[in-house]
Amino acid sequence: MIVITGGSGFIGSTLANTLVDEEILIVDTFSNNFQHQLLNNSGNVRLINLSNCKEVLQFYKNNIKYFYHLGANSSTDQSNLSETVNLNIFWSQYFWDFCVNNEIPFVYASSAATYGDGSNGFSDTMTIDQLKNIKINGLYGWSKMYFDIFALNQASKKFAPPKWYGLKFFNVYGANEIHKGTQSSVIHPFLKQLIEYKKVYLFKSYVKNIQNGEQKRDFVSVNFCIEFIEKLLNLNSDNGIYNVGTGSPKTFIEFSKDIMNAAGIDGLIEYIDMPEKLKSHYQYFTKSENKKSSKIHKEMNKFHYKKDLNNILETLMKSYDDE
Ligand SMILES: NC(=O)c1ccc[n+]([C@@H]2O[C@H](COP(=O)([O-])OP(=O)(O)OC[C@H]3O[C@@H](n4cnc5c(N)ncnc54)[C@H](O)[C@@H]3O)[C@@H](O)[C@H]2O)c1
């Protein structure tokens, strides 16, 4: 059996849909009904509400092959401290302890938001002291950093699952993220804008040396992320924290053009004001440093970026037709 927390969300549902031959237990808050539709209901999938999961996990503890902890409040502008601490920290610590006590390999989602504005770099080999020096804006990034430091601390005391991997996802995009609304990656809103207005709206830059649209992000396909995780596990990689990004960031202008090409819609780019609430933690540049995972990335060279983007856009357009 495979446990996937957050399995009705974007990355979790995509992962669940690829593990077709496995018995899967999804633990989620199911806070958004739309998310149920993302599941490939093959009969091998059981849904358990987070609030009832402790007993169920105890029952299955000897049959769990891997525990993927992807569940979190993933909103980068969340502001409810007690909810963030409960969902993103306490539950993560509970699942960590569960996997330690039952010797279950544990994979959890961290985030590139833990690199703050990037001025300390994007290396996944930082020590706890180096991590503590990073200035993080926003509760979300803070909660992810808190748990990374917890994991590293526990591991240093030999209180860790037999295999464990913390994944610092960069800007993940894919088909199953429409439910995230304004928190989805840019491909869904950009595609809608192209279809409706033949335009893509990009945020203006508020940093002196960066022109509008020249903000750069490490945009990474969810399918790339899932292949990365599979290879990470198959190669029996060393335990620890790993960046999950391409290492080849693109400007928003470049990425918009890729989307236009893949969608076959030629559009204009227009610059709009950035919402006030984003300004304090907006990342102008992200780039996954991939030295630690160079072996995995060598194999990832076979990943077909354009074909994958075409497939994602095709699925999105089909879902708009079904709406
Ligand atoms: N999508 C990205 O670009 C990105 C980037 C960096 C990190 N991440 C992280 O990856 C993970 C998956 O992200 P996503 O984009 O699929 O988000 P999502 O919001 O689509 O999915 C998260 C799911 O987890 C559920 N949930 C909330 N707290 C939970 C808990 N404590 N236990 C179980 N389920 C819980 C939510 O209801 C939701 O269904 C999250 O941890 C997120 O912080 C995502």
Region of residue 9 (left: phi > 0; alpha: psi -120 to 50; beta: else): beta
Q: Which of 68, 140, 165, 242 is catalytic?
A: 140
CATH 3.40.50.720, domain 2-171+219-244, yes or no: yes
User: Tell me, what DSSP letter sits at residue 116?
Assistant: T
Residue located nearest, by CA, to atom 42 of ligand 1: 74
Among residues 134, 87, 76, the alpha carbon closest in space to that of 277 is found at: 76
Q: At what angle do helices 222-234 and 305-322 cross, to 10 degrees?
A: 130
Supply the pLDDT for residue 34.
62
Residues 6+ apart with CB under 8 A from 230: none
CA of 236 to the centre of ligand 1 (A): 25
- Residues 6+ away with beta carbon under 8 Å from 158: none
Among 180, 192, 257, 292, the active-site one is 180
- When pLDDT is cut at 50, 70 and 90, the band that residue 41 belongs to is low
What would the pLDDT profile of 208-262 be if each residue is shown by its tens digit?
999 999 999 999 999 999 999 999 999 999 999 999 999 999 999 999 999 999 9
Query: Could you tell me if 191 and 317 are in contact, meaning their C-beta atoms sit under 8 angstroms apart?
Result: yes
Angle value at C-alpha 286, between 283 and 289, nearest 5 degrees:
150
Please identify, by atom number, the ligand 1 atom nearest to the C-alpha of residue 28. Answer: 34
pLDDT digits (tens, 9 = 90+) for 80-132: 999 999 999 999 999 999 999 999 999 999 999 999 999 999 999 999 999 99
In the chain, which residue ranges form alpha helices assigned H by DSSP?
10-18, 53-60, 81-84, 91-101, 128-132, 139-156, 187-197, 222-234, 252-263, 276-279, 294-300, 305-322
pLDDT of residue 125: 97
| H-helix or E-strand spanning residue 4 | strand 2-5
Ligand 1 centre to CA of 9 (Å) is: 6
Number of CB atoms found within 10 A of residue 274's CB: 15
Task: Give pLDDT tens digits for 136-183.
Answer: 989 999 999 999 999 999 999 999 999 999 999 999 999 999 888 888
Six-digit token string for 50: 């987070």
Does the Cβ of 161 fall within 6 Å of ligand 1? no
In sign, the C-alpha dihedral spanning 194, 315, 225, 162 is: positive
pLDDT of residue 233: 96
Task: State which of 3, 8, 10, 31 you would mutate to test the pocket of ligand 1, scoring each by most atoms of that ligand within 8 A of its C-beta.
Answer: 10
Give the pLDDT band (50/70/90) at residue 320: confident
Question: Which of these ranges, 129-138, 276-285, 299-308, has the smallest mean pLDDT?
Answer: 276-285
Pocket perturbation via mutation, ligand 1, pick of 70, 176, 219, 223 by most ligand atoms within 8 A of CB: 70
3-state secondary structure of 153: helix
Under the banding of pLDDT at 50, 70 and 90, the label for residue 77 is: confident
Q: How many helices, marked H, and strands, marked E, lie in the chain?
A: 12, 13
| Cα 255 to Cα 305: distance, rounded to the nearest angstrom | 12
Q: Tally Cβ neighbours within 10 Å of residue 214.
A: 16
pLDDT confidence tier of residue 278, bands split at 50, 70 and 90 = confident
| Superfamily of domain covering 178-217+249-286+305-316 | UDP-galactose 4-epimerase, domain 1 (3.90.25.10)
Extents of the domains making up the chain = 2-171+219-244, 178-217+249-286+305-316
Q: What is the pLDDT of residue 49?
A: 95
The mean per-residue pLDDT over the stretch 68-74 comes to: 97
> Does residue 140 carry a catalytic annotation?
yes
